[in-house]
Structure 1
Amino acid sequence: MSLFDVLGSKPRLRIIQELSSEPRYVTELAERVGMDGKSAVHHLDVLEESGIVESYHVSRRKYYRLQRTVELRASPPPERSFCLHTDAIEHAASDDTPAD
C-alpha cells in the first residue's frame, strides 16, 4: 500500500493526530477517535505496516506511538509544488518506554 493510500483515510489521519501528542493504548485511542476497537486495530495495523507507528507492551496493554514524522505540503501556482515527506523519529534511550 502506498503512503498516499495509507494517509488517504480520515480515520488513520485522526489516529495520527491523536498519537502526535503522546502514545496511547488501543482502547483509549479508539475512544478518543470515536471508533470501535476492531476498526482501530485494523487502522493501527495498516499504520504499523507502513512504518508510521510502532507498538510496545506495558503489562497487558498494547501502546502505539508515532515512529515517523509525516509532512505533506502543497502550494498553488507559481510554485506548483507538492511534497509528501516522512522522517524517522528517534526515541531517546532514556524515555520511560520499556523495550519489547
Structure 2
Amino acid sequence: MSLFKVFGSSQRLEIIHELTDGPMYVSELTEAVGMDGKTAAHHLTVLEDADLVEHYRRGNRKYFRLIKRVRFEASPPPERSFVLQAASEEASDRPAAEKAGETSKGTAASATEGSTGRR
C-alpha cells in the first residue's frame, strides 16, 4: 500500500500521533484514539504492513511502537515542493528498557521510502 493510502486515513494519523509519545498497549491506544478494538486492529495491521509500526508482547499485553520517522512537507511556489517520507529509525535509538524481554514482529526497512519531490 502506498504512503498516500496509508496516510489517507485520519484514524491512522491519530494512531501515529499517539505512538510518537512511545509504545502503547492495544487497549490504551484504542481508548486514546476513541475507536473500538476491531477498527483499531485493522488500522494497526495496515500500519504494520507498511512497516511504520511493529508490535511486541510483554506478558499478556500487546504493545505497538512507531519504528519510522514520518515526514510530510508541502511548499507553494516559488519553492513548489512536496515530500511524503517514512525513514527508518535505527534499533539502537530505542531505549534498552524497551528492548529487554520482548518478542517483536516486523522490522524497520533500511532505506527511505515514499519520497517524492518536484521543482
| TM-score range normalised by the length of the shorter chain | over 0.9
**Structure 1 stretches of 5 or more lacking a match?**
none
Query: Aligned runs of 1:48-63 on 2, under 5 Å?
Result: 48-63=48-63
SS at match of 1:96: helix
Residues in 2 aligned to 1:96 and 1:76: alpha-carbon distance in whole angstroms: 43
Q: Is the 8 A contact 2:54 2:65 kept in 1?
A: yes
- TM-score of the superposed pair, with normalisation by structure 2: 0.80
Deviation of 1:75 (Å): 0.3
Sequence identity (%): 52
Specify the alignment match of 1:99 in structure 2: 102
Q: Relative contact order: is structure 1 or structure 2 higher (C-alpha 8 Å, sep ≥ 6)? A: 2
Q: Is the 8 A contact 2:71 2:84 kept in 1?
A: yes
Specify the alignment match of 1:13 in structure 2: 13
Residues in 2 aligned to 1:91 and 1:41: alpha-carbon distance in whole angstroms: 24
In the superposition, relative to structure 1, how do residues 34 and 71 fare at CA in structure 2: closer, same or farther (>3 Å)?
A: same
Figure out how many residues of one structure are paired with residues of the other and give that number: 100
Residues in 2 aligned to 1:94 and 1:31: alpha-carbon distance in whole angstroms: 25
CA-based RMSD of the aligned residues comes to 1.2
**Structure 2 stretches of 5 or more lacking a match?**
104-119
SS at match of 1:41: helix
